[in-house]
A and B are shown apart, each in its own frame.
Chain A
Amino acid sequence: MTVAPTIGVLALQGDVAEHLAVLESLGAPAVKVLSPEHLDAVDGLVLPGGESTTMSKLALRYGLMEPLRKRVAAGMPAYGTCAGMIMLADEILGGTADQQTVGGIDMTVRRNAFGRQSESFEARVPVDGIGEDPFDAVFIRAPWVERVGPEVAVLGSVAGADEAGRIVAVRQGGLMATSFHPELTGDARIHRLFVDIVKGHA
């Protein structure tokens, strides 16, 4: 019998509890990650939504940025939502001058690309790898992906008029990122895909 892998949720700031709840509902043991020691103990990591500038600063202050980069470079699966997508981007636009990221996905992400909160929205987004039914995606001051490298698979884009074709879900090997927040919707399909990635099944 194999032991279920432990998935961490980076708990520097943001909607940590919602991710923990979805992972637990899938039978995946989930723990908060606040220190390099916590990070050592997990098999995969979710980087939640929140404020990416705050997460970046706190990751540097608590000596987590380098260990995060090392684990990601060494192949630890990771999934970032919204601010977490920014954290996993090799390159960002619209960040603060000193904002650093963990990186790992060869992409350029524009922070707050869809606008301020008054422009935050819900939309149905088809996502590769989770079945045919589109995902009820919640975008909060959300980023989008402006450029992807050759290794990156685009899993989903926004339909509709003005931002049609904007990339909002990607995967590169064991790394996955979405502009939107599956943890807010009660639809666990994207988390299930990530758990399968951590288990080496997807």
Chain B
Amino acid sequence: MANNASHSSDNAVGTQRVKRGMAEQLKNGVIMDVVTPEQAKIAEDAGAVAVMALERVPADIRKDGGVARMSDPDMIDGIVEAVSIPVMAKVRIGHFVEAQVLESLGVDFIDESEVLTPADEAYHIDKWAFTVPFVCGATNLGEALRRIAEGAAMIRSKGEAGTGNVVEATRHMRSINGEIKRLGTLDEPELFGAAKELRAPYEIVKEVARLGKLPVPLFSAGGVATPADAALMRQLGAESVFVGSGIFKSGDPAKRADAIVQATLHYEDPAVIARVSRGLGEAMVGINLEDLSDSQRYAERGW
């Protein structure tokens, strides 16, 4: 492409500010899982700020079983070609070669995701080594800060993807924000103790205590199925919302996508949420967490 000429050496690519800056641009929006170029167009038309390109939405990964991996590059290319908004894609936890492949394809953001089958049981990807920014899931503050220490430019709640059940995402948002609040009440010696408990670098712990928030955007993911779910995540402190299976596993994806975008924007206005919640048709069926065996709980993947 003529406009993609490389930059001179005066210009710095892949810096922390450029990566986190990209994450900041996605705030106050909805990122939608899509499996085809047609779905990507529907998402773009509904006002998604980005799409997550993948071969199977989490609900189908659950149903099909087996090992879930990075998507076929052809499939990702097809979606990159179909839309002009940013495209994200998922790699397995610790699978840095899948990440190298996605970076070479030109995706705008990589999700090192527990929804895929982990490739490393001890280490996550060294995300500083990449030009492309990464988002990682977290269930609590310690996990979030370890991912930031590894170079993540965005954190999202893990939730429990592919269930249409928002209870785990709620737990993770409350846990992360509750622990951030607690850090704000600690004095210097106590912060050293907190860093030890959180198993996170002291410098980042101290920064979070000072800022009263993470140094990168905090989004929510995992089980969001309705406009009210999206608004719940926003009211619990999520700056944007990922919607996976919830849209394209529902009866009227275009209408639901539009409704979730509106509820994410007007998350403090129940009248708007009520209006957009009318006549949406079937929501995805959903799974109760008690019905999931331990091996099916994606939120427990990651270290």
Asked if residues A122 and B17 are in contact (CB atoms below 8 Å), the reply is: yes
In the assembled complex, the Cα of A124 lies from the Cα of B106 at a distance in Å of: 25
Contacts of A95 in B (CB 8 A): 84
Q: Is the CB of A163 within 8 A of B7?
A: yes
B103 and A161 form a contact (CB under 8 A): no
State whether B86 touches A141 (Cβ < 8 A).
yes
Q: Is the CB of B3 within 8 A of A13?
A: no
Q: Nearest chain-A residue to B14 (Cβ)? A: A118
Q: A140 with B18: in contact, given A13-B29, A116-B108, A123-B12 (CB under 8 Å)?
A: yes
The answer, among B85, B107, B109, for a CB contact under 8 Å with A51, is: B85
Flag if A119 contacts B25 (CB, 8 Å): no
Contact with B along A68-103 (1 / 0, CB 8 A): 000000000000001100000000001110000000
Q: Which residues of B contact A138 (CB under 8 A)?
A: 17-18, 21
Q: Which of B41-49, B137-145, B177-185, B246-254 contacts A (4 or more CB under 8 A)?
A: B41-49
Contact with A along B84-114 (1 / 0, CB 8 A): 1110000000000000000100111100000
Question: A44 an interface residue at 8 Å Cβ cutoff?
Answer: no
The reply to whether B27 and A16 contact each other, CB–CB distance below 8 Å, is yes
A82 to B25, CA, bound (A): 10
A115: interface (CB < 8 Å) = yes
Residue of B nearest to A51 (CB): B49
A113's closest neighbor in chain B, by CB?
A: B3
The interface bits of chain B over 103-133 (1 if a CB of A lies within 8 angstroms of the residue's CB, else 0) are 1001111000000000000000000000111
Q: Give A69 Cβ to nearest chain B Cβ, in Å.
A: 20
Does A25 make an interface contact (CB < 8 A)?
no
Chain A interface secondary structure, helix, strand, loop or mixed?
A: loop
**Chain A CB within 10 Å — which of B11, B26, B86 has the most?**
B11
In the bound complex, how far is the Cα of B45 from the Cα of A140, in angstroms? 22
Which of B224-276 touch A at CB < 8 Å? Answer: 261-262, 265-266
Q: Is the Cβ of B17 less than 8 Å from the Cβ of A160?
A: no
B7 to chain A, nearest CB (A): 5
Q: Which of A18, A118, A161 has the most CB of B within 10 A?
A: A118
A95 to B29, CA, bound (A): 19
Q: B288 near A: Cβ within 8 Å? A: no
Assess whether A121 is in contact with B265, with CB atoms less than 8 Å apart: no
Verify if A152 is at the interface (C-beta below 8 Å from B). no
User: A184 with B11: in contact, given A110-B3, A112-B84, A117-B86 (CB under 8 Å)?
Assistant: no
Please provide the chain B residues from 23 to 43 with a CB less than 8 Å away from any CB of chain A in the complex. 24-29
Residues of A within 8 A of B29 (CB): 13-14, 50-51, 54
Q: Is B50 part of the binding interface, using a Cβ–Cβ cutoff of 8 Å?
A: yes
* Interface: B287 (CB within 8 A): no
Q: Chain B's nearest CB lies how many Å from the CB of A92?
A: 11
Given contacts A50-B49, A122-B15, 18 further A-B contacts (CB under 8 A): A14-B27, A49-B24, A51-B86, A53-B84, A54-B48, A57-B45, A94-B84, A96-B44, A116-B106, A121-B12, A122-B18, A123-B11, A140-B21, A141-B22, A159-B10, A164-B8, A184-B17, A184-B21
